[in-house]
Amino acid sequence: MKYITLLGATGSIGLQTLDVIRQHQDLFTVHALAFGKNIAKAIPLIKEFKPKKIVVQDWETLQRLEMEYATSEILVGNEGMIEVSMDCETDILVNAVLGSVGLDATLRAIEANKTIAIANKETLVTAGHLVMEKARKHQVHLLPIDSEHSAIFQCLQGENNKEINRLILTASGGSFRDKTRAELEYVTLEDALQHPNWSMGAKVTIDSATMMNKGLEVIEAHWLFGVSYQAIDVILHKESIVHSMVEFDDKSIMAQLGTTDMRTPIQYALTYPSRLPLPQTNSLDLIEIGKLHFEEMKFERFPCLKMAYEAGKTGGTMPTVLNAANEAAVSLFLQKKISFLQIEKLVENELTQHYVIDHPELEAIQVIDKETRKRVVSSVK
């Protein structure tokens, strides 16, 4: 029996993680659940999985939860997430929170020698050098949940990472992949949230439309697999069947294929190195699909992807600014305070003005993250 602490329980990845646990109750028990403010969605989960500990975003949510449901220990905020992540009863920490808020908890869980299943790419984008240094020091497994990084991780089983020639991340192209730059001037929030292939949360869906999501994945892949940015390619693959590929030094390419169901990489992270049946997921029918298509990913069409590559190559605090500015800008777009194309303009403005700090410590990262977000918000009248 493995005891799971799940950060981001009411989000898309969190709910699908609980679905996997639901299918294998003989193997997994939920020790702790952390969520933000969505009590209506959380209470049925709490009743079903009966976690020993619960973490909510703030004291107001705690009071509301206590009024509606008398339950086990309730903790609050970042300190609460750190406590449950380090708890002696936690075997696996699933970091599925949105944005960089899961960074502290992940670092402390690594120090406590927990296995980390990570769906929160912002943690590695913001502080990849700190996370990987601690993971190596404490010999902790970081198991990727993102479909692309899970695909690469699976392709590398039994292989030598030193023999990687390049990584090939595939991208669906998002909601607006067939639109020109001129057409993007008139797109709406509702349009942006209609992803053609995947069922994801709002923020990730918008990031997919701007291609920032793929840019963040490039930075994450750099840290997870120790590959230079020059050896990471992104190609357009509209079917989202090939989830990513690895080319080795002998030019052999290994690919991981599957349906667009996030429960597959989630379950693999929880059961690694074993594989279990996933009965609710359909088999991939290549005959029905018939053809797979691949196209060049053009930076001029997707400038956010170019900015992510450049921020990653620059290093230091630049990826922190990239992520913080993007999160703030996407939040403004979701509130309908800015247009779709203003997202990339706000991010570019912050990157242009930033003075880079090399090898930043956690405190510097957190300060820059907070200041960047404030500047983006204040710049919008």
Provide the pLDDT confidence category of residue 107 given band limits of 50, 70 and 90. Answer: very high
Known binder of ligand: residue 122? yes
The yes-or-no verdict on residue 259 having pLDDT over 80 is yes
Q: Which residues pair with 242 in a beta bridge?
A: 257
Known binder of ligand: residue 208? yes
**What is the model's pLDDT at position 2?**
96
The yes-or-no verdict on residue 199 having pLDDT over 70 is no
The mean pLDDT value for 146-166 works out to 97
Third-level CATH fold of 315-381? Rna Polymerase Sigma Factor; Chain: A (1.10.1740)
Known binder of ligand: residue 91? no
Known binder of ligand: residue 147? yes
The mean pLDDT value for 223-245 works out to 97
CATH code, residues 2-140: 3.40.50.720
pLDDT digits (tens, 9 = 90+) for 313-333: 999 999 999 999 999 999 999
Known binder of ligand: residue 110? no
Known binder of ligand: residue 37? yes
Confirm if 151 and 157 have CB atoms less than 8 A apart.
Answer: no
CA angle 335, 339, 341 (to 5 degrees): 130
Nearest to 217 by CA among 147, 315, 276: 147
**Is 0.85 surpassed by the pTM of this model?**
yes
Known binder of ligand: residue 165? no
Average pLDDT, the chain: 94
- The percent of residues in the chain predicted with pLDDT above 70, rounded, is 98
Q: Map out the domains of the chain as residue ranges.
A: 2-140, 148-260+281-302, 315-381
Rounded to an integer, what distance in angstroms lies between the CA atom of residue 56 and that of residue 25?
24
Distance between start and end Cα atoms, the chain: 53
β-strand pairing of 2-7 with 28-34: parallel
